[in-house]
């Protein structure tokens, strides 16, 4: 049997206060196949517990389109966590 799964690499971007909490604007991360955006956020929330309180006020994007939290990620995807927008 070949390995059950190979990890996939995605790029993750943070903006606004999320960037400050995570202490970075972006990083590349290896995930288990079939990971979704929700599980990706949970992974960061366990690393940076302060993130969890913002979960309900964050919108995610995948490849620069707003994306549901259950979006399954593929290798090479660019995911961003977006706080409430305040342009204008």
Partner 1 sequence: MTSSSTDITLLVHEPIDPVGLAAYVRGNSDGAMVVFDGFVRDHSKNRRTLYLEYEAYEPMALAKIQEIAAHIHNHFSIHRVAMVHRLGRLEIGQTSVYIAVSSAHRAAAFDACRYAIDTLKRTVPIWKKEYFEDGSVWADGELPPLPSATSTVKPAS
Residues that bind partner 1 (CB under 8 A): 13, 15-17, 57, 59, 61, 64-68, 80, 82-88
Q: Which two tokens stand for residue 27?
A: 């990083």
Residues 6+ apart with CB under 8 A from 22: 14, 44, 48, 51
The Cα 54–Cα 65 span in angstroms is 20
Residue whose CB is less far from partner 1, 16 or 29 = 16
Give least dist CB 48 to partner 1, A.
16
Give least dist CB 61 to partner 1, A.
6
Residue whose CB is less far from partner 1, 46 or 63 = 63
């Amino acid at each position: 049997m070949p390995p059950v799964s190979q990890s996939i690499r995605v790029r993750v971007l943070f903006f606004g206060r999320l960037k400050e909490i995570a202490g970075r604007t972006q990083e590349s991360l290896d995930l288990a196949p079939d990971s979704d955006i929700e599980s990706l956020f949970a992974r960061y929330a366990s690393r940076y517990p302060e993130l969890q309180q913002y979960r309900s006020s964050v919108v995610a994007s995948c490849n620069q389109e707003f994306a549901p939290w259950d979006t399954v990620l593929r290798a090479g995807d660019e995911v961003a966590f977006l706080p409430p927008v305040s342009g204008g």
